[in-house]
Structure 1
Amino acid sequence: MIDSHSIFLLVSTLIAVVGLILLIAVFKLNPFITLLLASLSLALVTGMSASTVIHSFEAGVGATLGHIAVVVALGTMLGKMMAESGGADQIAYTLIRLFGEKRVHWAMVLIGLVVGLPAFFEVGFVLLIPIVYTVARRTRTSLIMVGLPMVAGLSVVHGLVPPHPAALLAVTIYKADVGRTIFYALLVGIPTAIIAGPLYAKLIAPHINLPTENPISAQFVDHGADHESGRSLPSFGLTLFSILLPVLLMLIGSWADAISTPKSALNEGLHLVGNDDVALLIGVLLSFFTLGRLRGFSRDTILRFSNECLAPTATITLLVGAGGGFGRILQDSGVSQAIIGVALQSHIPLLVLAWLLAALMRLATGSATVAMTTAAGIVAPIALHSPGVHPELLAIATGAGSLIFSHVNDGGFWLVKEYFNMTVAQTIKTWSVCETIISVTALLLTITLSFAV
């Protein structure tokens, strides 16, 4: 039986989330203030002591911003250099030429899958968003039509496909074979990305009317190179190398233990350059040369570019941090444990249980990585006593559950909302539903695959 306290915690959380959405979407209260008020209210209602409430919220904000703030700052600088140099235009023109204007959304899901493989979602997002802006502008296509397939591709590899760090954690916990997991994840992930990306984007884009002016997009207007006026653009190869170098470094970092002796100087060096922050820093420094000095920009101009692009990201960074604070309150108040208790009392197949636990943890904490590792840690001991269940499929099912319905306690939700300049309601209709399609489709395909392997 579910105890009354667990029910109280779950109901309180539901009321808090609904209240958040109403205050932001209907009453137009500042999202940061709303997240802070909702976090404090939920903490006090669920019985957290007044002395620990603020500390818990600040810990959540700090833990989230420790990663996100650096990623957003460096990624925005790299994006600014791509835009000012004309590099984003060059990639956009090449994609449009290869795929055609009417099929460019297929190009975006492909580039999302490739770039997102070694990088966390937020890293891939800030790397690719300038290209999304440029492709949408050049093809006069809805930002949703171009951007949603890209974020779908990023999200699928984030949750399902090793060697992505989050998916690799689940593989390690379940003691699954990495090679087979990658193969099965691609079988599941590619059709999932197609359904949630290009196909859903085509369905929802006509129903989403975005404002004409996008303050973030304005930071990535190509002032430095105008293709129509006859000025040359940087080469496609040089631009692609500049944007993919951080991705390649992260990939090398994920393979460090396979290509060098653990704990050796080389191994530690590979892990260092493969760290998200360091890889992006190296990419930004390279772009100052390849997309800056080689394009004729002076040091003062490059400094101005790197300074002025940061101002519009302040709101995004604060909102992402506040979402992390809300997620930490949910954990420290006992909501997460209540969710786990409810799920474990239901007698359901192991694949579905792994998905359900991860899904509930994702809804509660907002973090796909936390959801995946927590659910895998609970299910793995059960799986040892359940012969016939493939650990590779358990890892994929867990990853699928960790992606469900991103909402206001997820940093990714606010990234997508602010960069696409959408309302909360529009973000739910596009991004949150896209994530849910990914989660449910991947689960159904994984269950289907379980009958064939």
Structure 2
Amino acid sequence: MTTIPLIQSMLGLLAGIVLIVVLTARFRVHAFFALLLASVLTGCILGFPVATIIGSIKTGIGSIVGSLGLLIILGTTLGLILEHSGSTTVLANYVLRRTGTGRSALAMNIIGYLVGMPIFCDSGFIVLSGLNKALSKRSGVPVIVMASSLATGLYAVHCLMPPHPGITAATATIHAETGRVMLFGLLIAIPVSVSGYLWTAFAGRRIAVAASDDIAAGDTVLKGPSVLMSVLPIAIPILLIAIRSLSSLEATHPSLLLQTIDVLGMPEVALSAGILLALSQLKNNIGTILQEGAEKAAGILIIIGGGGAFGAILAKADIGSHIAQNQSVAAMGLLLPFLVTALLKTAQGSSTVAVIAAAAIMQPLLPVMGFDSASGKIICVLAMGAGSMMISHTNDAYFWVISKFSGLEIKEMLRVYSTGTVVMGLVAIGFIYLLSLVLPTT
């Protein structure tokens, strides 16, 4: 294949990124079509024949969807079942009873972290928003503090932990081990979530926003399963995946126990176990909920497929072979995937689109940056997850979910929540750097 000049490669890359940002942020074009058009534009600038462009797009879509389609479908379905069964509300109220209304903002942050494991951040916030406002009225804590505390807890795991779509797609693109990304992402999300709460408590301490009058202080709590049965569908999959990641399967003839752990700890099998546990708590409408899960997952998968198409075109450009000669790139280390993702996130609003596009850019650069080892790929994926946190503002759909469901003004949101996402991103990349010292990338 003819080598493409560096200037032409970079022009194609930048043109594709700008088109994605403009179409999604300015014209509100669906992310799939923005990624698809960016793939075509980049391919044309790179001088690829039409047949090559179309073939690469089809290959990219098929590869990425084939590798993580089942994981996305199962993760989405599990979240919906927990929502419909009332498990999320049961879990929320349990944490509140343990912490007390005096620490209600911290309680909501913890709830966000726990509920956010299987449920997308926007869905989790919508489900818990009524409880959030009612607790604000009872405790006297400003709604902006309560809402941002909940939002940052949900956001931490959404950006750092599979099976959430963006970080899952990046894991597949970079070919990192899903189980270890999930485990380390879950651990790093703890201090990140706490930092979001601490910043919220600091920045929102002088803002007094009254709770909506339509939320009574004594809201009726949705009746659901027991606390144990609410937490098991979340805890069992995480435990199985963690055990598999921590166990050694390098033996020439692994025992039956290790083989069993290897199978049960596969993310798809572990999530299936969680779904079966969660289904046992549903009394009716099982078919409807499963259909809703499949339909919701389909919308996510087409965006991921678009990211795969864009990645396939960029891979053909072989930008990494050019940049390999630039020592300053390698010197940036994990800051490069972090900054690229942060730029994309801030410009176009979607954490999912940002991390998918960034993964496509970073994948050919892994050898150059010294991230082509198993541990290096994990660090790179997590760094992109950290970048996808910042900055959430008015072009982010999640920003508006928080604002509208909490009755908050934009200026309060920008002052407390948006600045909080910057703090979270910086804390995340700091802990990822510490992790890189424990897990050498080479």
Which residue among 232, 235, 238 is the counterpart of 1:247? 238
Which residue among 231, 234, 238 is the counterpart of 2:225? 234
| Match of residue 114 from structure 2 | 111
Q: Output aligned runs, 1:73-152, within 5 Å.
A: 73-99=73-99, 100-108=103-111, 111=114, 124-126=117-119, 131-140=124-133, 145-152=149-156
Amino acid at match of 1:341: A
- 1:132 CA displacement: 4.0
1:405 aligns with 2:387: yes
- 1:130 CA displacement: 5.4
Separation of aligned partners in 2, 1:285 and 1:199? 38
Which residue among 298, 305, 316 is the counterpart of 1:332? 316
Question: CA deviation digits over 1:172-202, x for unaligned, max 9?
Answer: 9xxxxx9xxx8xx97x876555445763798
Q: Output aligned runs, 1:306-345, within 5 Å.
A: 306-338=290-322, 340-341=323-324, 344-345=326-327
SS of structure 2 residue aligned to 1:257? coil
SS of structure 1 residue aligned to 2:294? coil
Amino acid at match of 2:327: Q
Which residue among 252, 258, 266 is the counterpart of 1:267? 258
Paired residues of 2:304 and 2:356 also in contact (CA < 8 A): no
| Match of residue 366 from structure 1 | 356
- 1:46 CA displacement: 1.3
Paired residues of 2:65 and 2:304 also in contact (CA < 8 A): yes
Separation of aligned partners in 1, 2:422 and 2:304? 19
Question: CA deviation digits over 1:56-114, x for unaligned, max 9?
Answer: 222222232224432332223222222222211101112333344322353156538xx
Separation of aligned partners in 2, 1:446 and 1:264? 31
Separation of aligned partners in 2, 1:369 and 1:25? 20
Paired residues of 1:250 and 1:274 also in contact (CA < 8 A): yes
SS of structure 1 residue aligned to 2:248? helix
- 1:241 CA displacement: 1.0
The alignment's TM-score, normalised by the length of structure 1, stands at 0.63
| Match of residue 355 from structure 1 | 334
Mark the CA change 1:279 to 1:419 in structure 2 (over 3 Å): closer, same or farther. Answer: farther
Paired residues of 1:92 and 1:134 also in contact (CA < 8 A): no
The alignment's TM-score, normalised by the length of structure 2, stands at 0.65
SS of structure 2 residue aligned to 1:310? helix
Query: Identity over aligned residues, as a percent?
Result: 21
Paired residues of 1:105 and 1:198 also in contact (CA < 8 A): no
| Match of residue 437 from structure 1 | 426
Amino acid at match of 1:277: E
Question: CA deviation digits over 1:7-64, x for unaligned, max 9?
Answer: 3322332232122211222223333222211111101211233222122222222232
Paired residues of 1:39 and 1:325 also in contact (CA < 8 A): yes
Amino acid at match of 2:47: G
Separation of aligned partners in 1, 2:294 and 2:371? 46
Separation of aligned partners in 1, 2:243 and 2:34? 41
Separation of aligned partners in 1, 2:176 and 2:297? 34
Question: CA deviation digits over 1:251-280, x for unaligned, max 9?
Answer: 122134269875444433322221111111
Separation of aligned partners in 2, 1:241 and 1:381? 35
Mark the CA change 1:13 to 1:432 in structure 2 (over 3 Å): closer, same or farther. Answer: farther
- 1:235 CA displacement: 1.0
Amino acid at match of 2:57: F
SS of structure 1 residue aligned to 2:303? helix
SS of structure 2 residue aligned to 1:311? helix
Separation of aligned partners in 2, 1:98 and 1:52? 59
Count of aligned pairs between the two proteins: 373
Mark the CA change 1:171 to 1:37 in structure 2 (over 3 Å): closer, same or farther. Answer: closer
Q: Any stretches of 5+ residues in structure 1 without a counterpart?
A: 116-123, 159-163, 173-177, 208-226, 384-391, 408-415
Paired residues of 1:397 and 1:442 also in contact (CA < 8 A): no
- 1:126 CA displacement: 3.6
Q: Superposition RMSD on alpha carbons, in Å?
A: 5.1
Mark the CA change 1:249 to 1:20 in structure 2 (over 3 Å): closer, same or farther. Answer: same
SS of structure 1 residue aligned to 2:48? coil
Separation of aligned partners in 2, 1:108 and 1:51? 50
| Match of residue 64 from structure 1 | 64
Separation of aligned partners in 2, 1:436 and 1:66? 30
SS of structure 1 residue aligned to 2:333? helix
